[in-house]
Structure 1
């Protein structure tokens, strides 16, 4: 029994037929986008005769090359195509040709992008450019460790290289150029956070470099990054912070591990990962080893350790921090990090209580915002404060106050269960302040250059013993402080240079 022709079984109209069915303004906008696709794929100016434009487009798409299809879909629809969309269109081209394949896809385009919006977004193909995706860093109000790394790194990249800073629309459908205020916020943290722009220039990278110096956890964003890495003919690179949601998923909130899995699904298709420590590299290499079971090789993985560089503090900054944080007659123990279970602050509170009951006098200052699953910590903190213990949390603190706090502290304690790097440890040691930190992973890696006392973070008594030593043994404290001041110095400038070479060089 014959299956009939495309027309007999109700297959979609051709692209030319679709173009004839829309308004003149919509037709002009679509033809402009088709011209952009033709010139990008051919490397030549698009035909001036509009009658030749669609046939030329169809000839270029006839081989059903997945990269060309991705470009065409992304430009026509003003949003980055996903891998399933590319595969579906490739199959349609092989069955019925590009005219029918794109004719069927132009109807939703006209409805959703052109006919339904007064503003027709400009679509710009960026070829041979370096795009740096700092969507979160440009918009978020919090300054996490990841955002600090992104800002310190990208600011130095921008000073030495020509970059295009990009973000996403609110639905994570398309890349867009950041506005000047957003660029300033991404690079310096200045200015109020704002929503994603909705009416900006849509950019489609092609034969360019795409760099991701922050963590993406949004499924729609990761689906489009994965397709970009596969089909945009771009060099792609990402800073790899850690695989905590996979290796210690029990310490994260519901859904975080699933969201992180979508990030790894995108990173799987990227060219290079620059990890922030050898411990982080071990996690990523373990994940990459698993990819062989699905026939994938995964990205190249390198190690570019973070620096611990901290600017100097002025006398006024030290005086302000002293008045704000110190309790007269008591040494200060400083802890920096969000109050999530992985940071192990419950164990720290218990260790501190053991020492207070011994009669040791010190105040404990925890700098960091609330995070997932911190209800137990909040309750135990309230209990300690009700007992009159000298402990407080500071949810927001300027960088200058933090640098001063490092210098004023007797020690910095960081008993985390898992860290990609442990930036507060490196920063405290850079200030010459001893650290009490975990005896494995990136924290032990940092401590290898001296200045830190290692403890077992899973043993409250071990944490208490480490704190007891630095609080009561002046000679041990002096040795640690001397070793901290003698550590080799690594600057943000060096780090940014090394990561650029690893990802874009």
Structure 2
């Protein structure tokens, strides 16, 4: 009986034999201990399997388990050629990098792998991260069968973080060289956040091409393509590389119909390169209000009593159009209308001009302030205190501040196109974000017309609310099962 035949009794397929033998070779002494093979016999068995059919998927899996990393597509292609020319022995001599040798390699077959590398490690609250946190909390509460992963140092592969969101957060913020390296194989890989690192994207593209896994990503927007002048120079190239990887994915769940239109336009370009491209479907975000428990800050310390408050929520990157809000507000103040203007949101790329103009207005005595960050309860209290909010962005995949404001019965001034027009169906005033006078007229009009504000507030309060639970359920259904409203048991073999 040959060495490979000895292993055949223990596993069902050649791919499974490759995974098993690769793991055995990656751990000194394991081959003899687990299946009665010497290292030389294990090498011979795996070489025989690879030389019979050195398919890209088999090369990918062998590289992953031998090196404790997800191989990029270029490595898979190069090693496939070499195996065909020279045999499999050179490939089987590979070993993990020295820093990886203490980590076990765990092949996950038939499960769901959720990649939350950035969100698990940070306290930032960008729109994307707020979506990810809300989804992961709901998936955990619903006992969704998932293996949560982050990325190893150098973006070489996945490390296991846990099966619950709270456990994953705790694990991601501690340093450990012993957490298992996870290799998804014929599983389902989900990416609910935005990946822009070149090495990470190269390896994700290869996973989508060769691992036999279904792959799905949340599509937030195509802003670096549609309005590239509003994105940082590095982001334009990074986002193009993101799309190059996502072209090989199976599904993109966009957060609005407007974002779906953008992604479908991109997908038609991908087809011209001979790539089938992913299925694209809108899974529209939740629009419920932010939590409103007791605030840790008294809003009386933030705004003047007896004066209307105009609230603007979001980061200060150029796309959010906050310079236009400042200019529009100054026009209204000069017309003799007295009100407070409050920005809530962190600084972002190219926010220096906004901060400079904000300082000028403050020094001239205008009642305008900017808060970098507040907790959810304080934000909810500010929405309720505001006469209305303003969100005249140049482009958005969705616009969470719009629905947060409306869900609390506060009218919104927002842009008259794209996702913002899509979600601001009631309780809103639509403006041209590229016309400062249009924004100023809308602000002045609402400040002077209290009955209209009240009518818009009633419209906002009567809106049907879509919960985060509903969004998370539909997102899981589409990303894991490929269809809306489709539910059923999902196999998860656990990390082996």
The answer, yes or no, to whether TM exceeds 0.5 is yes
Q: CA deviation at 1:312?
A: 5.4
Work out the CA distance in 2 between the residues paired with 1:198 and 1:145. 31
Equivalent pair of 1:37/1:71 in contact (CA under 8 Å): no
Q: CA deviation at 1:141?
A: 2.7
The secondary structure found in structure 2 opposite 1:364 is strand
1:151 aligns with 2:133: yes
Work out the CA distance in 2 between the residues paired with 1:441 and 1:118. 47
Work out the CA distance in 2 between the residues paired with 1:496 and 1:298. 24
**Bigger CA drift: 489-498 or 324-333?**
324-333
Equivalent pair of 1:141/1:192 in contact (CA under 8 Å): no
Work out the CA distance in 2 between the residues paired with 1:35 and 1:478. 66
1:76 aligns with 2:53: no
Equivalent residue in structure 2 for 1:139, among 96, 121, 124: 121
Q: CA deviation at 1:484?
A: 0.4
TM-score (norm 1): 0.86
Q: Who is 2:153 aligned against?
A: 170
Q: Who is 1:34 aligned against?
A: 22
Work out the CA distance in 2 between the residues paired with 1:494 and 1:443. 21
Deviation by residue 1:222-261 (Cα, 9 ceiling, x = unmatched): 1111111111111111110001111111011121110111
Work out the CA distance in 2 between the residues paired with 1:47 and 1:224. 31
Equivalent pair of 2:47/2:92 in contact (CA under 8 Å): no
Work out the CA distance in 2 between the residues paired with 1:142 and 1:338. 11
Alignment of 1:218-257 (within 5 A): 218-257=197-236
Q: CA deviation at 1:102?
A: 3.4
Q: Who is 1:264 aligned against?
A: 243
Q: Who is 1:85 aligned against?
A: 75
Q: Evaluate the alpha carbon distance shift between residue 257 and residue 395 of structure 1 in structure 2; reply closer, same or farther with a 3 A threshold.
A: same
Equivalent residue in structure 2 for 1:492, among 461, 468, 471: 468
Work out the CA distance in 1 between the residues paired with 2:259 and 2:80. 38
Q: Evaluate the alpha carbon distance shift between residue 176 and residue 312 of structure 1 in structure 2; reply closer, same or farther with a 3 A threshold.
A: closer
1:48 aligns with 2:24: no
1:102 aligns with 2:62: no
Q: CA deviation at 1:49?
A: 2.1
Deviation by residue 1:280-335 (Cα, 9 ceiling, x = unmatched): 10111111010122111210000111111115535x53x94432322122111100
Q: Who is 2:15 aligned against?
A: none
Aligned length: 455
Q: Evaluate the alpha carbon distance shift between residue 193 and residue 468 of structure 1 in structure 2; reply closer, same or farther with a 3 A threshold.
A: farther
Structure with the bigger RCO (C-alpha within 8 Å, sep 6+) is 2
Work out the CA distance in 1 between the residues paired with 2:171 and 2:335. 46
Q: Evaluate the alpha carbon distance shift between residue 439 and residue 343 of structure 1 in structure 2; reply closer, same or farther with a 3 A threshold.
A: same
1:440 aligns with 2:431: no
Q: CA deviation at 1:32?
A: 8.0
Equivalent residue in structure 1 for 2:285, among 274, 291, 306: 306
Alignment of 1:327-342 (within 5 A): 327-342=304-319
Q: Evaluate the alpha carbon distance shift between residue 150 and residue 96 of structure 1 in structure 2; reply closer, same or farther with a 3 A threshold.
A: same
Work out the CA distance in 2 between the residues paired with 1:255 and 1:284. 21
1:460 aligns with 2:436: yes
Work out the CA distance in 2 between the residues paired with 1:47 and 1:59. 17
Alignment of 1:389-428 (within 5 A): 389-428=366-405
Work out the CA distance in 2 between the residues paired with 1:158 and 1:457. 39
Q: Evaluate the alpha carbon distance shift between residue 291 and residue 408 of structure 1 in structure 2; reply closer, same or farther with a 3 A threshold.
A: same
Q: CA deviation at 1:192?
A: 11
The secondary structure found in structure 2 opposite 1:178 is strand
Work out the CA distance in 1 between the residues paired with 2:21 and 2:444. 68
Deviation by residue 1:341-387 (Cα, 9 ceiling, x = unmatched): 00000000000000000111111110010111111111100110011
Deviation by residue 1:106-158 (Cα, 9 ceiling, x = unmatched): 2xx36x33xxx595221111111111000000112311110110011122112
1:377 aligns with 2:319: no
Equivalent pair of 1:139/1:196 in contact (CA under 8 Å): no
Q: Who is 2:480 aligned against?
A: 504
The secondary structure found in structure 2 opposite 1:366 is strand
Equivalent pair of 2:115/2:149 in contact (CA under 8 Å): yes
Work out the CA distance in 2 between the residues paired with 1:471 and 1:85. 62
The secondary structure found in structure 2 opposite 1:274 is strand
Equivalent pair of 2:157/2:181 in contact (CA under 8 Å): yes
Q: CA deviation at 1:186?
A: 6.0
The secondary structure found in structure 2 opposite 1:166 is strand
Q: CA deviation at 1:469?
A: 1.7
Q: Who is 1:20 aligned against?
A: none
TM-score (norm 2): 0.87
Work out the CA distance in 1 between the residues paired with 2:171 and 2:111. 28
Q: Who is 2:453 aligned against?
A: 477
Q: Who is 2:322 aligned against?
A: 345
Work out the CA distance in 1 between the residues paired with 2:289 and 2:167. 20
